[in-house]
Amino acid sequence: MRIQGPTGTAMAAASATPARRAPSGTFSVNEHTESSATKGPSAVRTFGGIDALIALQGVDDPLERRRQGVKRGRLALDALDELKIGLLGGTLTPATLNKLRSAAAFLKDNSGEAGLDGVLDEIELRVEVEIAKLSMR
């Protein structure tokens, strides 16, 4: 039979509450101390948890916001070009109007850069004007 010594956690618990010796030299157990075996395992403590991860995902990089702003502007300009080609060729479709509306909805987000936001606002104004003109027909 193999006898194993006390583990590190049992030694730490034992050293925190030293056993008392009887004055007559006989062995006695302190009845007021709690055994380490009766204590349940403690829960693992986390710092931040899932809320911190979600908050970190919401933090945008300024370069990424600028890149997304430029992408939205290009999509809106492409939709305006498609509108121009459709008007000049006489082949304007309802899909073009839908594409303009979706481009206008995406232009409402700010990129965080004043110059780019100004250009995106002008593109958005032009898209809204074209939508209004097409809706009157």
Q: Residues 20-67: pLDDT tens digits? A: 555 566 766 666 655 555 555 665 555 566 776 676 676 667 888 888
Q: Would you place residue 134 in the very low, low, confident or very high pLDDT band (cuts 50, 70, 90)?
A: confident
What is the C-alpha to C-alpha distance for residues 29 and 104, in angstroms, rounded to an integer? 80
Work out the number of other CB atoms within 10 angstroms of the CB of residue 29: 9
Inter-axis angle of helices 94-106 and 62-89, nearest 10: 160
Evaluate whether 64 touches 94 at the Cβ level (below 8 Å).
Answer: no
Q: Residues 95-106: pLDDT tens digits? A: 888 888 888 888
Global pTM value: 0.53
Sequence spans of domains, the chain: 60-136
